[in-house]
Structure 1
Amino acid sequence: MDTPADMSAAAAPGAYKVAITEQHTGRILLFDRTDQWTDANVRWSFSTGNAPGWDHPFEIRFRDTQRYGMIALMTFGRPGEGRAAIVDVTGKAHLTRADALWSARITSYPHCVERVPGTGTVVVAGSRDRLHVFGPSSSDPATLKEVQTLEFTKAHAVLWDDQNGLLWVTGGTVVRSYRVTGTMRAARLVKQGPDITIAGNGHDLQPDYGRPGTLLVADSHHIYSLDKKTRALTTLLSLPYPKSYVRHEGGQSMWTTDSDEDDSVWGGPTVHFSAGGDRTRAGAQIYKARLYTTRFH
């Protein structure tokens, strides 16, 4: 079994950007990997003002669109009151809720969101018990409307696989895949292939940018490599309470953990790297760390 250091021992500190969901201040912050992560070095940000339903950012990911260029997909909230949102990141460096192209109230504690290119579909993982599928009536995200709801216990992560045309979801002890049929308001998810069993409480799904054709799956105590074609699952390493895990194409791994799973804070002040040194923001509560990229693989 690998260790985080073993997985990219030859990789020097990379010159790339990292976005973090910082739950203490209710902000999403973008930094250069090689900078110190101080306020003066913030490259891009989204601030919620910790408004009800907008506090505790859980997800940030970047996607390309024909209409807006790069957008950011985000989720926020507490049990019973949350939001999913989309913003245009090309206009200015520091955004707030007033800049949202679209947002929706999600009461099932939304932890993740994904967009399926070509269909207009947006899927939100409600970590209590369901998937929310939204479809637009035009290329304007403001027209998104919920068109399907599927039961999925503890749904925590959702990721589009552009190589195989599948939407992957994990939560509880399951990794599952769906086809997307139809487009716009007619889009629906249809289960595809057998479920894959993991040890428990799947938390994250990310492309393995260092190993195309595979996904990285995080549950409560493990990181797995999932072959997208064969559906074969390999345990890479043991890790206590990982909240996010990804590998850069240069070989360097990056992850976040919850140092105390029994408290009400779902993250710590540090983002860990397998080479080049960690990054810490004193007093921060970082749930996820994401590479600043729109790539799906």
Structure 2
Amino acid sequence: MLRRTPRTPRTLPALFLTLLLCAPAGRASATPLGRQVVAADQASRRVLVLQTAEELMAYQGPDRLPVVWSWSADRAPDLADLAPERSWTNPDEAKSRIRQGRRYLLTTASGGLAAVVETTTGRTRWAADLGTAVNPHSIELLPDGNVAVAASAGGWVRLYAASQGPRATVHAVFPLPGAHGVHWDGRGGLLWVLGDESLTALRVGGTPAAPTLTAVRSTPLPDPGGHDLGPVLAEPGRFWVSTLNGLWSYDPAADRFTPVHLADPAADRDVKSIGDEPGTGRLLTVTPDHTAPCDWCTSVIRLHRPEGVRTLRGTHLYKARWWGGR
């Protein structure tokens, strides 16, 4: 179910936000001020679409979070059969994808849920409860409508025949210890997957109803503990890779990892998510605080090049990304 935040007094900035909130349900998108930010918040059990980077840096809080749009499996009637009270525990991924002119939220939770949600309606295109033991950690929507899910505790990447229906369970599987990241590279026509020790390219075969996965190449990581994988938008064809101790840009053509150094060396370590804003190249990262009550989460969104830090009190953020169309 889509939720809108309360209206604010109609100052000029507030009027702009009100216009966004009064748009048709779920129409969170890029604004003239830049890209909005999407975050997985484990405290509220919601995916939050936040204001743009410029607006976030001006946000004073803590009276009201700068939320433009939100979604929760707890309030989605069409997911009631998947026990969201358990399966939606600790949401840990949120991505935006556009297919055939429609925007989709891609999300997973450690409790077992994986889902693809159409943002304009809030309806679920596909979802599955994968159980509490596997820890779904990332998700990708392929051009044919099938869905790839990486599960870190399960040690696999599965490609579900989601194009066949909203509860399709037929899948291909690729074993991958510590599977954390998955990304479809349309330029190369490959599904890239990130594990504890390696970055692997998979070729998708078979049919949409009966897909297959075949490893094409695999490259050892320069540092163990692979965590996040995504496109470098400023350099098409390259990927962001985060590991336990570093950030990297990977060039598949040269099969080479190049270290990425941020202004604060400590910000390079244990990064849960990283991405560059289209057009500006500004980086957005999330790094855990390692403090109670959620030592794998944070309430802080960090921007780099130029630098900026914003604390969103009361949140337990696991990942945050630019809410961009891909």
Q: TM-score, normalising length from structure 1?
A: 0.84
Does 2:274 correspond to 1:245?
yes
Does 2:112 correspond to 1:88?
no
CA distance in 1, matches of 2:136, 2:240: 20
- 1:179 offset after TM fit, Å? 0.8
- 1:25 offset after TM fit, Å? 1.2
CA contact (8 A) 1:106 1:126 kept: no
Pairing partner for 1:21 from 40, 62, 74: 40
Aligned residues: 269
- 1:48 offset after TM fit, Å? 3.4
After TM superposition, list the pairs within 5 Å mapping 1:1-297 onto structure 2: 15-33=34-52, 34-36=54-56, 39=64, 41-49=66-74, 51-66=85-100, 69-78=102-111, 82-91=112-121, 99-107=123-131, 108-117=134-143, 119-128=144-153, 129-136=155-162, 138=164, 141-142=165-166, 144-237=168-261, 239-249=268-278, 250-260=280-290, 264-274=294-304, 275=306, 277-295=308-326
Give a deviation string over 1:30-87, Cα, whole Å, max 9, x none: 1122224664631111123471110211111111223x71111110124xxx110111
- 1:294 offset after TM fit, Å? 2.5
Which fold has the larger relative contact order, with Cα–Cα distance below 8 Å and residues 6 or more apart in sequence? 1
Identity %: 28
Give a deviation string over 1:164-198, Cα, whole Å, max 9, x none: 11111112121111011133122111101232323
Tell me which structure has the larger Cα radius of gyration.
2
What is the SS of the residue equivalent to 2:260? strand
Greater helix share, structure number? 2
CA distance in 2, matches of 1:69, 1:256: 27
Q: Which moved more, 1:274-283 or 1:154-163?
A: 274-283
CA RMSD of aligned residues (A): 2.1
Give a deviation string over 1:96-128, Cα, whole Å, max 9, x none: xxx4232101131001000111x3221100111
Distance 1:157 1:149, change over 3 A: same
- 1:160 offset after TM fit, Å? 0.7
Structure 2: give runs of 5+ residues left out of the alignment.
1-32, 75-83
CA distance in 2, matches of 1:40, 1:218: 28
CA contact (8 A) 1:241 1:259 kept: no
CA distance in 1, matches of 2:286, 2:258: 20
What is the SS of the residue equivalent to 1:51? helix
Q: TM-score, normalising length from structure 2?
A: 0.77
CA contact (8 A) 1:243 1:258 kept: yes
Structure 1: give runs of 5+ residues left out of the alignment.
1-13
CA distance in 1, matches of 2:235, 2:88: 35
CA contact (8 A) 1:256 1:271 kept: yes
